[in-house]
Amino acid sequence: MLQPIMLQSITLHRLAMPLVRPFETSFGRQTVRVVLLVHVRSVDGAEGWAECVAGESPRYSSEYLDGCEHVLRHHLAPALLGAQLVTADNMHSVLGFVVGHRMAKAALEAAVLDAQLRASDRSFVDYLGGTMQQPGPLAAWVDCGVSVGISPDLDTLLAEVSVYVQAGYRRIKLKIKPGWDLEPVAAVRELLGPDTLLQVDANTAYGLADLDHLRELDAFGLVLIEQPFVEEDIAAHVLLSRHIQTPVCLDESIVSGAVATDALARGATSVINVKPGRVGGYHESVLIHDLCRAQGVPVWCGGMLETGIGRAANVALAALPGFTLPGDTSASDRYFAQDLVEEPFVLGSGEHRGQLRVPTGPGTGVSVRADLVRALAVATPLELKR
């Protein structure tokens, strides 16, 4: 158990991070990642940083940046600042009066945890490994996959995929939607050959009328198809799982360990994407990891275009033994020309080609670049005090 801390202040920073190339999914196209950072300070001087993974608009999720900032400012942060002592282990009981808002809660949890761990000179990966119900070896390096957005044409897609293959990424994920699926997947499979890990992500773009069409993806030897139907429709995913050979993976549907348990029991999924922001934090992420590992269900760490601040914590999570598939934990330069941390994430070489080193320094193990936080700000920082 970590030593509780008393918070002195919680500061919210809003930044605009230009992407090195546009990123398009079935629900939109991004050229800039607008980021909400959470910076906490304790009365004893401990500091922690985290980022909220919500998007600018409520298209991926019902949560979005303005809503997260509002609930943090008016509800969640005041509750934590009003508490005598807080710890990441039990802060969800303090915040339980707010229904939902998992992404906002996850950002606060991660920031408090970062501060506590730095004060205790412990790393994220050491702490997360110690909270597992089924202890196992922690990885020093994690396999890296990369997510490839919808391209304007096949030539552009193949050129981008070729760059990632040359960089050493161990798995390619293609975003798909109706009208952009079988042809691009076939072209990329031909480029990669039969042995490279390839999977697809639909981001809820399909419906039950597409069952036979989605079965045609079986021809390409995919690792999985991710979230083809709307998140609330677990029953449709059960039907799909019975209809195709390609493993079905749930992403947006999995908002808690309870939902994961239900989806697995019903046969809706045989692989789970764990995103800490989506499930409410790293404690819930470890719970999902544990229940999947107990059933022999592979999990992998999803991505939300995080900067190095959020990426550091995700890489630590991906070091747990149940994360047996490469995650969306790409190197910093996949998305940003400059990252917000002094230690940007770089793909390894030699035997660690296509892997990222797990940070082992105190907290998340990375140092925030205050100069970039100031330079990329699109709003005046909002400081909330005890």
Does the pLDDT at position 92 exceed 80? yes
Cβ distance 327 to 311 under 8 Å?
no
C-alpha 167/C-alpha 216 separation (Å) is 30
Order of all β-strands in the sheet with 145-148? 145-148, 171-175, 197-201, 225-226, 248-250, 271-274, 299-301
Q: Tell which residue, 147, 157, 153, 164, has the closest CA to residue 203.
A: 147
DSSP 173-191: EEE-BTTBSHHHHHHHHHH
Residue numbers annotated as active site: 175, 275
What confidence tens digit (pLDDT) does each residue in 3-49 have?
899 999 999 999 999 999 888 887 788 999 999 999 999 999 999 99
What confidence tens digit (pLDDT) does each residue in 162-181 have?
999 999 999 999 999 999 99
Quote the percentage of the chain above a pLDDT of 70.
100
pLDDT at 161: 98
Q: Which tokens belong to 324?
A: 């047996």
pLDDT at 25: 87
pLDDT at 229: 98
C-alpha 59/C-alpha 257 separation (Å) is 23
Rounded average pLDDT over 151-156:
96
Q: 317 or 90: whose pLDDT is higher? A: 317
What confidence tens digit (pLDDT) does each residue in 259-268 have?
999 999 999 9
pLDDT at 155: 97
What confidence tens digit (pLDDT) does each residue in 338-374 have?
999 999 999 999 999 999 999 999 999 999 999 999 9
Q: What confidence tier does 90 reach under pLDDT thresholds 50, 70, 90?
A: confident
C-alpha 105/C-alpha 226 separation (Å) is 25
Give the strand pairing for 197-201 and 7-25: unpaired
Rounded average pLDDT over 80-108:
94
Quote the percentage of the chain above a pLDDT of 90.
94
272 phi/psi in degrees, rounded to 5: -130, 135
Mean pLDDT for all residues in the chain: 96
pTM: 0.96
First to last CA, the chain: 24
DSSP 14-37: EEEEEEEEEEEETTEEEEEEEEEE
Q: What confidence tier does 1 reach under pLDDT thresholds 50, 70, 90?
A: confident
pLDDT at 62: 94
Q: Which of 81-95, 145-159, 207-221, 298-312 is least confident?
A: 81-95
What confidence tens digit (pLDDT) does each residue in 134-147 have?
899 999 999 999 99
Q: Supply the Cα-derived Rg of the chain in whole angstroms.
A: 20
